[in-house]
Every structure is written in structure tokens, then in C-alpha cells.
Amino acid sequence: MMPSFDFEDQIRAPGGARIAGVDEAGRGPLAGPVVAAAVVLSRDLLPEGLRDSKLLSATRRDALLQLILDQAEVGIGLATVEEIDEINILRASHLAMCRAIAALPYPPDHVLVDGNLCPRELTLPATPIIKGDALSLSIAAASIVAKTRRDAIMWDLAQQCPGYGWETNMGYPTKCHKEALRNLGVTPHHRRSFKPVHNIL
């Protein structure tokens, strides 16, 4: 299934002009922040090949990222490891989404949110879309921005904390990562509220 502009067109028809797609990356990892992106696409200038970031190679994501940055309005927000541990990963993901929306150059009229819940702090009209990154072009674009931005952060953190494989596993609980946790210990970038990390502590 390829994403389309159908959701955006349906909302635009009653008068909404600026529609942002919002998605996050990094809910499942044991380390690193959760990163969200908000993207407002122009109906007349849609980057070709947009789809769920998980279905794209890193090279293709990077190429599409540049097209999105050139042809759309983009906002990026994140929630730190400390915030994840303090308020839980779902709330932190929603916090990152709200920060991404606030980082857009202009406020949108409506927000399409990937998932089954909208952030409760969000004051704008919003529609949650389950598997939105596979259905909505705006959310697919946001998923690409969020994924590439978070991957870059994890690559940087991997240089600071070698041995955990973050440059390839992006902080997810792979066998290599869990073995490194046991052998090297917990870093300041690990989410202490997540069970595999908590158990070691």
C-alpha cells in the first residue's frame, strides 16, 4: 500500500488550508531520545517516492529528506532520556510531537497524527490515523524526517559511547546491545525506566 493525499484533501475540503503530518521515531529503543517531525506538504509540490520510512533504505531516506526540506515546511522536536524516564515513553513521544508542531514556521490548521491517540497537550484540531505513515503522504514525510534525524543523533552518540553498536542498532535492544549493557554497563544515554536497563541497575 502506498500513502496518498486523500486524508489531507478530505480535511482541506471544509476549509482547512495548512495540514501537518506528524510522526515520531524511537519509542522502542533502550537508549537515546525520541524524535518527532511535523511536515506541511504543498499539494502542488509533493516529493516523489514518499512512503513509510521503515520501508526505505538509508540512502533513499537521505535523498528524500533533502527533497522534503527543500519543498515542504518542517519542524523537529525531541524528548530527552530524562523526560522519557520521568513521564513515560508515550507521553514523551507526544511531547516531542508538540515540540515539532511548535517548530513549524507557521501554525497548521489541522494535524494528522500517526497512531491511535493525539497528544493531550495539543490545542490544534487533530486526527489520529493508525498506520498513518503508510496511508498519509504528510505523515510518511514526517516519518522520514524523524527517522533520519534520530539516526544521526544515535550515530553521534555511538562515537561518544563505543561498544553498544548504536551506529547500526540505533539503540534498539539487539543481542549485541544487550550484551554490551551487561559487559560495559549503563550509560547516561540509556532509558533507566525500560526493563532491560532497569534490571541491570
Rounded Cα distance between 109 and 123, Å, is 11
Band of residue 36 on the pLDDT scale cut at 50, 70, 90 = very high
pLDDT at 199 over 70: yes
Pairing of strands 19-25, 34-40: antiparallel
Specify whether domain 6-148 bears CATH 3.30.420.10: yes
Rounded Cα distance between 40 and 21, Å, is 7
Q: For the chain, what is the mean pLDDT?
A: 94
Rounded Cα distance between 14 and 7, Å, is 12
Band of residue 201 on the pLDDT scale cut at 50, 70, 90 = confident
- Contact 103/119 with Cβ under 8 angstroms? no
- Over residues 75-93, the mean pLDDT reads 98
pTM over 0.75: yes
Band of residue 12 on the pLDDT scale cut at 50, 70, 90 = confident
- pLDDT value at residue 15: 65
Q: Which three cell numbers mark 116? A: 491511535
Q: Please provide residue 152's backbone torsions phi and psi, each rounded to the nearest 5 degrees.
A: -65, -40
Q: Sign of dihedral through CA atoms 27, 28, 34, 36?
A: negative
The Cα angle at residue 132 between residues 126 and 133, in degrees rounded to 5: 125
- pLDDT value at residue 20: 97
- Helices (DSSP H) in the chain: which residue ranges? 6-12, 58-71, 81-87, 89-102, 132-135, 137-160, 166-169, 175-184, 195-200
pLDDT digits (tens, 9 = 90+) for 106-148: 999 999 999 999 999 999 999 999 999 999 999 999 999 999 9
Rounded Cα distance between 48 and 84, Å, is 34
